[in-house]
């Protein structure tokens, strides 16, 4: 395979990986936005379990991609923290973005003679 063809292929695959990683990240954050803590999953151990949501604070997180929620404790002493993200999926998303950027930047450079 010619050197210019390899570079073109590396850049193309790199751009596709970056696009896939960004798409996966947006989908994970979108799912966290659409499914707030009060409706997503179960309350963590030690949190108030009732008909009304006991979420004190909810925010989006970038590690893992998703939501981080602070729930009122059942004993009334502070809060319990839980996250609704997936560490493996977040790692795969970031790996695709970093790998794609690396492949695009390094694959597009011409080789020195």
> What is the C-alpha to C-alpha distance for residues 74 and 46, in angstroms, rounded to an integer?
6
CB 54 within 8 A of CB 70: no
| Domain map (residue ranges) of the chain | 3-35+52-107
> What is the C-alpha to C-alpha distance for residues 63 and 69, in angstroms, rounded to an integer?
13
Predicted pLDDT at 51: 59
Please tell me the least confidently modeled range out of 10-14, 39-43, 58-62, 63-67.
39-43
Give pTM, 2 decimals.
0.77
Q: Per residue in 80-107, pLDDT tens?
A: 888 878 899 999 999 999 999 999 998 8
Predicted pLDDT at 17: 96
Q: Per residue in 47-79, pLDDT tens?
A: 776 656 677 788 888 888 988 888 888 888 888
> What is the C-alpha to C-alpha distance for residues 95 and 93, in angstroms, rounded to an integer?
5
């Amino acid at each position: 395979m010619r050197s210019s063809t390899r570079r073109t292929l590396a850049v193309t695959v790199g751009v596709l990986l970056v696009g896939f990683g960004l798409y996966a990240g947006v989908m994970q954050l979108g799912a966290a936005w659409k499914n707030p803590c009060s409706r997503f999953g179960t309350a963590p151990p030690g949190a108030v379990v009732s008909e009304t949501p006991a979420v004190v604070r909810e925010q989006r997180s970038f590690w893992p991609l998703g939501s981080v929620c602070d729930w009122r404790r059942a004993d009334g002493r502070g809060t319990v923290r839980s996250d609704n993200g997936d560490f493996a999926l977040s790692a795969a998303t970031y790996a695709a973005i970093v790998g794609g950027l690396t492949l695009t930047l390094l694959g597009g450079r011409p080789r020195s003679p």
